[in-house]
Amino acid sequence: MKKTNLNQLTEYIVNIIRQTHKNKINSLSLSILYMLLGFFISTTLSTIPGQTGDWGIIGAAVIVTFYERISQQTYPLRFKNSLTHVFINRINYIKIGILYGLFVDAFKLGS
């Protein structure tokens, strides 16, 4: 097959992703970044629907559904390749960030 610019770009991106996962410091940084992303998502989910007062139950149902689906995929941990394992772990970090953000919002409302 002929090497095109698209093939070279794809190989370059795949090599960068592979090198990123080999370095533990980058893995820790990405984990913290995904947890902060989850914190931002939880803040968004708790403030925007709260403006009208009608969407609290629907927002809670979406969060619980998201949590249960991710837990269902995460905890058996029988993946065919390591890329799927890394992807599910990153989503799990987002889930942890959402939980942390909701606890912080609950403490803000309690005080």
pTM for the structure as a whole: 0.63
Give the separation between CA 43 and CA 41, rounded to whole angstroms: 5
Residue 48 has pLDDT above 80, yes or no: no
Q: Tokens 């609290």 appear where?
A: 56
Residue 53 phi/psi, 5-degree rounding, is 85, -10
pLDDT tens figures, 30-46: 888 889 998 998 888 77
Alpha carbon of residue 110 to chain centroid: 27
The total domain count for the chain is 1
- Tokens representing residue 32 in the block: 């913290």
Give the separation between CA 41 and CA 76, rounded to whole angstroms: 26
More confident residue, 29 or 82: 29
Give the structural domain span for 50.
5-110
